[in-house]
Amino acid sequence: VLFPLFRRALSHFLVCSFQQTVERQKHQDRLPNFHDKYGTPILLSGATFCLAIWAHAATQIGIEWNLSPVGRVVPKDWRSQ
């Protein structure tokens, strides 16, 4: 008997709090903040900078990546004992 009563009260509380939040946001004049104004350009410039640094590191620094051993691996000669 207690569990259905508790569940009903909890669902009523959640519905009421959700409705209050919706009403509060509906009546509030939302002004753009820093993230609304500058968030996307900052994210894109950071991603571009990161890609540029990685592209420079991958192509200009002179790292030998050793992606394929084909043509570089030579078998050693057998030594007779």
Q: pLDDT tens for the chain, 81 residues: list them.
A: 567 877 777 777 777 777 777 777 666 667 788 888 999 999 999 999 999 999 998 888 887 777 777 777 777 777 765
Task: Tell me which DSSP letter residue 66 carries.
Answer: -
- CATH (domain of 22): 4.10.51.10
pLDDT, position 5: 75
pLDDT, position 81: 56
Please report, for residues 20, 45, 65, 67, the alpha-carbon distance to residue 56 in angstroms, rounded to integers and kept in the order given.
Answer: 53, 16, 14, 18
The residue segments making up the domain with residue 39 are 1-61
pLDDT, position 29: 66
Asked if residue 69 belongs to a domain, the reply is: no
Asked if residue 78 belongs to a domain, the reply is: no
pTM above 0.75, yes or no: no
Asked if residue 30 belongs to a domain, the reply is: yes
Token readout for 56 is 């420079």
CB 57 within 8 A of CB 63: yes
Asked if residue 54 belongs to a domain, the reply is: yes
Asked if residue 71 belongs to a domain, the reply is: no
